Amino acid sequence: MFRYLPLAFKNTLRNPRRSILTIANMAVSLCLLSVMIAMYHALFYNQQTPGQALRLVVRHRVSLAQPLPVAYEAKVRTVPGVREVSVWNWFGGTYKDNRDPKNFFARFGVEPKAFLTIRTQMVMPEDQRKAFIEDRTGCVVSKDLADEFHLKLGDRIILLGDIYPVNLELKLVGIFDDPDAIKTLYFNYNYLRDALPLGRRNFISVIAVLADTPEDVPRIAKTVDTMFDNSAYPTRSESEQQFLLSFVSFIGNIKLFLLSICAAVTFTILLVSGNTMAMSVRERIREVGVMKTLGYTNGLILLIIIGEALAIALAGGVLGLILAEGATGVVGKVGQNFIQELQGLTVTPVTIVISLLVAAFVGAISSIVPAWNAAKTDILTSLRYTG
pLDDT of residue 1: 47
pLDDT of residue 72: 93
pLDDT of residue 295: 76
pLDDT of residue 386: 57
pLDDT along the chain (387 residues), means of 10: 58 72 84 84 71 88 87 93 91 80 84 92 94 94 92 93 88 92 90 86 90 92 93 90 66 69 81 75 71 76 79 87 86 66 75 88 82 74 63
HSE toward the beta carbon, residue 29, CA cutoff 13 A: 26
Alpha-carbon span 226 to 338, nearest angstrom: 33
185: three-class secondary structure by DSSP: strand
List of residues 6+ apart from 212 with CB closer than 8 A: 81, 82, 83
pLDDT of residue 124: 95
pLDDT of residue 9: 61
pLDDT of residue 250: 53
pLDDT of residue 49: 74
Domain range annotation of the chain: 2-46+253-384, 67-232
pLDDT of residue 293: 78
Nearest to 35 by CA among 259, 343, 327: 327
